[in-house]
Structure 1
Amino acid sequence: MTPAPASVVIDGAPAHGRYAGRIAAIDWAGLQPRPGRLWRRLHHKRWQYVGLGNEAVFIGVAIVDVGWAVSAFAYLFDRQTRTLQADWSQDGLPGLQAHVGDAPLTGADAWFRGPGARLSLREAGGRLGLQVATRALHVDAELDLTAMAPPLLAIAPIAGGLAHATQKTTALPVRGWAEAAGQRFALDGAWAAVDASNGLLARDTAWRWASAHGPDVGFNLQQGYLGQQENVLWLAGAPIALGAAQFEFDATRPLAPWRVRTDDGLLDLMFTPEGARAANKNLGFAASRYVQPVGTFAGEVRTAPRALPRRINGLLGVTEDHASRW
């Protein structure tokens, strides 16, 4: 994987590719010809997602701007009782209730404000501060970027849209706490991963996704609108590009085991769900169908096709089956 470019647009065109390293901003203003304002309003989608967990909990938080609307969600899954102790979401008005900045990591600034809800993800001094204050869930956490492994930067063309870019990290050390259902959970010793995505997407977008991260191994897989561009394995902090991902699961039974693998033979894992968050919306002109199981991965990964396999067992993460008309 080559180093990340300085910009997602070079000489007026998207800098398509799969890279290792941070980018200061995901900014499409330099595209030539530049899409019209109304088209950009309808197709420009941005989000910040954080998934973090330890032996006790898994927490997922997202702030999303789809151009003509904004939304946010936050949930806490108790791994001991295998129940969602908090599951909150809310929609809002663009430009008024949420903001997702162009900086994915350094300088990141995303927030959502709604009735009874305040969420933010902001970087300062090499640390991402994650705050969630809702009726169901409170989180005060800090994610350390100072010694992070090189993150993934993927830029790819989009059928029916134009281009998309995503910056994804592997395991980031966490300290802090969360409160839900009258319980307080310590997050010190947890590991987090960030998904900062920004693109000019098609009206209909679908994907399957898997992400799991620990101190010495992590991976990100996607099958869908971005092809194999964001498929990467981190071993001892080194990112390794992966081939196309295959997801074998029963969409009607998302809590049954999943098999995820890549066609280059570098990753072959079984995923055992412990529980899931799901949401379905249908407004007629817009709709989404989403399920995100939480669980553990086990199997084998390799640095090269003929390399000795490395055994993975009990690696905490998520899978996802998602389709949106937005």
Structure 2
Amino acid sequence: MSLPAAPASLLSADGQPLFGRYAGQVGHIDWSQLAAPFARGRLWRRFHHKRWHYVALCTEQIFCAVAIVDLGWTSTAFAYAFDRSDGDMLANFGQDGLPGLSARLADHAGASSSFKTRKSSIAIDSRDDGSYGLTLRCDYLEIDAEFGPGASPLLLATGPVAQGSVHATQKSSGLPLSGEVRTFREDYNLAGGVASFDYSNGLLARNTAWRWASAHNLEMGFNLQSGYFGGNENALWLDGQVHALAPVHFIYDSSDPLSQWHIFTEDDLLELYFTPEGARRDNKNLVVAASRYLQPIGTFTGWVRSAPDQPKRMVTQMMGVTEDHASRW
């Protein structure tokens, strides 16, 4: 079933959130006007308001991911470049920012985000013609990329969060890509590749965990998540439309995350096998916060369909990522 059009605002006139899944872009996201039972005090919102802007870039030769994260009380960013031909992680950048200074996160998916420290900078820019730009400068890695506009609408998903309040996310379909990635070893032309992005904005619980999968080409794509947001953001892009999917199951050996993953939805619209080629890991255990992060990079094979009475569409070696993430933030 295709999704209804996104509303102009996530809140109704009486401050109630408009929970659901929609197609298209929502405007400015402001949780300060939430009404009971979702309203929270200003100080609580300050420490529980989490936003992130994530971009993936994929060609036959290279896979890159870049993220800017605003945790409310501090910020962080990461980027990596993975050479698909030999499984080499060419760059793996991570940097914590100064509270209130380093990160500037967009208040909706159609705005721009940035991260800047003395030695590194990231800018994710939204343009008037519906396209986007990504510029990154850090040790051993530089990116100048342009992507979009896409032929399919964004997914907008919004819903409640246990032990938190509310959350909203916007995911893109596959977007045409151009530009260049420069590493210490080689330069990579991005022309003919595919980009996608994730913009998320919510009032989350102190302890938040999820498993996630995402992959796209220009004709097909999917976004799958189990954990803190339930099945709210599970979606399939097919034939220029975005379709809702049921809750998803991730079956894999957590002691050997580079073994094969089995992923399927409860509505019998998707069944995939994911074969990792490499992974980015980042585990932190601080006094006030902790994070266990694993993002395998690899390929998906299996099938999808938009409805039970539709024929299965084969997925063959589609490049993307899975993720197993738990945070105390």
Q: Which bin holds the TM-score, normalised by the shorter protein?
A: over 0.9
- Structure 2 residues not aligned, in runs of 5+: none
- Structure 1 residues not aligned, in runs of 5+: none
Q: Please give the per-residue CA displacement for 1:50-70, whole angstroms capped at 9, x wherever unaligned.
A: 011011010000000000010
Structure 1 length normalisation: TM-score?
A: 0.97
For residues 16-31 of structure 1, what are the structure 2 equivalents within 5 Å? 16-31=19-34
| Distance in structure 2 (CA, Å) of the matches to 1:25 and 1:251 | 38
Which has a greater percent of strand? 1
- Point out the more displaced range, 39-48 or 147-156: 147-156
Q: What's 2:86 paired with?
A: 81
For residues 1-326 of structure 1, what are the structure 2 equivalents within 5 Å? 1-10=3-12, 11-33=14-36, 34-105=39-110, 108-125=111-128, 126-145=130-149, 147-326=150-329
Q: CA deviation at 1:35?
A: 2.0
2:91 partner letter? A
Instruction: Give yes or no for contact 1:26–1:104 (8 Å, CA) kept in 2.
Output: no
| Distance in structure 2 (CA, Å) of the matches to 1:308 and 1:225 | 32
Structure 2 length normalisation: TM-score?
A: 0.96
Q: CA deviation at 1:306?
A: 2.9
| Secondary structure, aligned partner of 1:38 | helix
2:132 partner letter? L
1:68 partner letter? W
Q: CA deviation at 1:14?
A: 1.3
1:235 partner letter? L
| Distance in structure 2 (CA, Å) of the matches to 1:36 and 1:24 | 23
2:235 partner letter? V
Aligned-pair identity (%): 50
- Point out the more displaced range, 20-29 or 233-242: 20-29
Q: Please give the per-residue CA displacement for 1:52-92, whole angstroms capped at 9, x wherever unaligned.
A: 10110100000000000100000000001101100000001
1:44 partner letter? H
1:3 partner letter? A
| Secondary structure, aligned partner of 1:3 | coil
1:43 partner letter? H
Q: How many residue pairs are counted as aligned between the two chains?
A: 323
Instruction: Give yes or no for contact 1:52–1:193 (8 Å, CA) kept in 2.
Output: yes
| Distance in structure 2 (CA, Å) of the matches to 1:271 and 1:199 | 29
| Distance in structure 2 (CA, Å) of the matches to 1:83 and 1:96 | 33
